[in-house]
Structure 1
Amino acid sequence: MTPIALALSLALHTSPSPKAAPPAKPATAAKPMSTTAPPDDLSTTTRAWHDQRIQRLQSEDGWLTLVGLFWLDEGEQTAGSAPDSKLDFPANTPAKLGVFTRTGKAVSFQPAPGVAITRDGKPFTGGPLKTDEQGSPDVLKLGSLNFHVIQRGEKLGVRVKDSQAPARQQFHGIDTYPASATWRVSARFEPATTPRTLQVPNVLGTTEEMKAPGTLVFTVDGKEHRLTPVVEEGSQQLFIIFADETNRDATYGAGRFLYADMPKDGQVVLDFNRAYNPPCAFTRFATCPLPPRGNRLALRVEAGEKRYGDH
């Protein structure tokens, strides 16, 4: 069993289960729409939000296209579909794709002779590659494949996507709970008195410190619950990584994601109808964050997306 698969398996059995964060950068990367829709229009707005969510997921660069993730060692590593390749790319890749070279936190790539790779629509003949830690990474393309370098803490890896991936071609949608005003709750925002960071674990077995502006306090069936949101760099929304008791049998075992607008007059709307599956629910090659300590709710949040397939 791979380290990622093992981490997910452990999360499934310990969650009552994420750089993604990372940790994976959440993956998440595609932000939900605003959560300020009028309650009487909840079904319509929730359906519209979910339609957009599915459209992004099914896009040519969506998570359903992720087919590989290869962590780089120091020095040179061959890549391609040949059995002796250090980085074993998918079968539709040339046997000899090229050579990646890692020097500290710098990565370069040299295509093999005769392999026509492009970057930004122009021929790429070799050179250094910008990682996702440096903003938008350099994306190299070959036919239906594209790949780029990601950084997760001290780890550097090559993420591979294929617009013709079976997961994308065979996608059949995601079941959801019916939209309900019960799960569109108002939470009291308790701001942190001093700058605070939260240790967010991920499926790689590492953690990342993320900014935590405060705590969200809300009540369901007369019982008070708390969640700690984080704020991603450059984001204007709160990001909540949470688990609940439906993870055992109805929703993704490692937890779900939720975005919410920033506090207004000390209140935050938590619309759990927009709780959604992390990228790891669709591919073992994602690097998703997991619910941090304190974000495991002792109740069944029967709202939002349900478990996808056999995940």
Structure 2
Amino acid sequence: MTDATPATSTAPSETHDAQQLARWHRFRDNRNNALAEEHGWLTLTSFQWLEPTPSPVELVPGLWSTSESVGLETAVLTARADEGLVFDEEGDPVDGTFSAHLTEDESLNWVRYGSIVVELAMRGGRYAIRTRDSQSPTRTEFRGVPVFDYAPEWVIEAQWEPYPAPHKVPISTANPLVEGTHLSAGEVVFHRHGHEYRLQAEQGKLGDLTITFHDETNGSTTDDWRKVTTARPRPDGTVTLDFNRAINYPSAFTPYGTCPMPVRDNSLDLAIEAGEKMPDAGE
């Protein structure tokens, strides 16, 4: 008679953690791939306001300006075909004078010049352009964002408490010349070490919640602020707040972002050692 080898089983909690870890690795791969796109956030190389007088700008040819007619303000570009600008979508040469109109917070990849795409943007009631160069060293030398190790303890069950109606809260942005607005739809409430914490959130069209926050790691291992997005709250108002998915805004990678800062109350007296670190922080 031989001894039978006892069967082994995996505890449900261990299986759940393994599944969470696998999903997090997929999330990280998708995040790094998105950042490394040809003209993504890592490719920003300038931010330049447009003025009423047609003027040259840095890095690309043409004369750029703004114009107002019958109460409608537009951005205006004048260039010759031999200068090398082409329209981003059609690929046709820019030959003559052309205009475009945007509303607040809108952006348009308007024209190309070699490896550069020129993004037209309306920020703080003014037109600006941002150049996105696919050959920027920030992109070509990118090897992924440093992150904290996955930490199950930073996956927290929270409660969503919506306001009767969303309200606008004035905020600052990464660009001191651009003011922003946070559309606060309610508060995500969670508990940690016996304390209650409340964070104002914006709500997307599909019900997802985005929280921009400060915490005590900022300036040491993490950037000055980060954001985390949750799925749509469940019917009972509960929501999973996974700080392992906290990410940097584009302004952590480039000085040319106009990213929103947290509302005043979204500062945690916690060191959230989860999610993305500073882009130049070591592992």
The one of 217, 222, 226 equivalent to 1:256 is: 226
The one of 115, 121, 125 equivalent to 2:90 is: 121
1:112 aligns with 2:80: yes
2:239 is aligned with what amino acid?
Answer: V
Q: Name stretches of at least 5 consecutive residues in structure 1 with no aligned partner.
A: 1-37, 79-86
Task: Give the strand-richer structure, 1 or 2.
Answer: 2
Q: Report the 3-state secondary structure (helix = DSSP H, G, I; strand = E; otherwise coil) of the residue aligned with 1:259.
A: strand
The one of 196, 218, 225 equivalent to 1:247 is: 218
Contact 1:129–1:138 (CA under 8 A) maintained in structure 2: no
> In the TM superposition, what is the alpha-carbon distance from 1:310 to its structure 2 partner?
6.3
Query: Separation in 2 of the partners of 1:57 and 1:309?
Result: 15
Q: Greater Rg, structure 1 or structure 2?
A: 2
Residues 110 and 211 of structure 1, relative CA distance in 2, 3 Å threshold = same
2:191 is aligned with what amino acid?
Answer: T
> In the TM superposition, what is the alpha-carbon distance from 1:179 to its structure 2 partner?
1.2
Q: Report the 3-state secondary structure (helix = DSSP H, G, I; strand = E; otherwise coil) of the residue aligned with 1:69.
A: strand
1:49 aligns with 2:17: no
Query: Separation in 1 of the partners of 2:206 and 2:132?
Result: 25
Q: Which residue of 1 aligns with 2:198?
A: 226
Q: Report the 3-state secondary structure (helix = DSSP H, G, I; strand = E; otherwise coil) of the residue aligned with 1:208.
A: strand
TM-score, length basis structure 2: 0.84
Q: Which residue of 1 aligns with 2:263?
A: 292
Contact 2:148–2:276 (CA under 8 A) maintained in structure 1: yes
Contact 2:105–2:122 (CA under 8 A) maintained in structure 1: no
The one of 59, 64, 74 equivalent to 1:100 is: 64
Deviation per CA, 1:94-134, whole angstroms, max 9, x where unpaired? Answer: xxx11112014310111135123222133132411244748
The one of 179, 187, 192 equivalent to 1:215 is: 187
Q: Report the 3-state secondary structure (helix = DSSP H, G, I; strand = E; otherwise coil) of the residue aligned with 2:153.
A: helix
Residues 235 and 145 of structure 1, relative CA distance in 2, 3 Å threshold = farther
Q: Name stretches of at least 5 consecutive residues in structure 2 with no aligned partner.
A: 1-15
The one of 184, 187, 208 equivalent to 1:237 is: 208
Identity %: 29
Q: Which residue of 2 aligns with 1:275?
A: 246
Query: Separation in 2 of the partners of 1:113 and 1:189?
Result: 55
Q: Report the 3-state secondary structure (helix = DSSP H, G, I; strand = E; otherwise coil) of the residue aligned with 1:70.
A: strand
1:184 aligns with 2:184: no
Contact 1:64–1:283 (CA under 8 A) maintained in structure 2: yes
* More deviation, 125-134/151-160: 125-134
Query: Separation in 1 of the partners of 2:183 and 2:44?
Result: 28
The one of 33, 40, 61 equivalent to 1:62 is: 40
> In the TM superposition, what is the alpha-carbon distance from 1:148 to its structure 2 partner?
2.1
1:250 is aligned with what amino acid?
Answer: T
Residues 41 and 132 of structure 1, relative CA distance in 2, 3 Å threshold = farther
> In the TM superposition, what is the alpha-carbon distance from 1:269 to its structure 2 partner?
1.2
CA RMSD of aligned residues (A): 2.1
1:110 is aligned with what amino acid?
Answer: T
Deviation per CA, 1:147-169, whole angstroms, max 9, x where unpaired? Answer: 02101122210110111111111
Query: Separation in 2 of the partners of 1:196 and 1:279?
Result: 25
2:180 is aligned with what amino acid?
Answer: E
Query: Separation in 2 of the partners of 1:303 and 1:116?
Result: 46
Q: Which residue of 1 aligns with 2:137?
A: 166
TM-score, length basis structure 1: 0.77
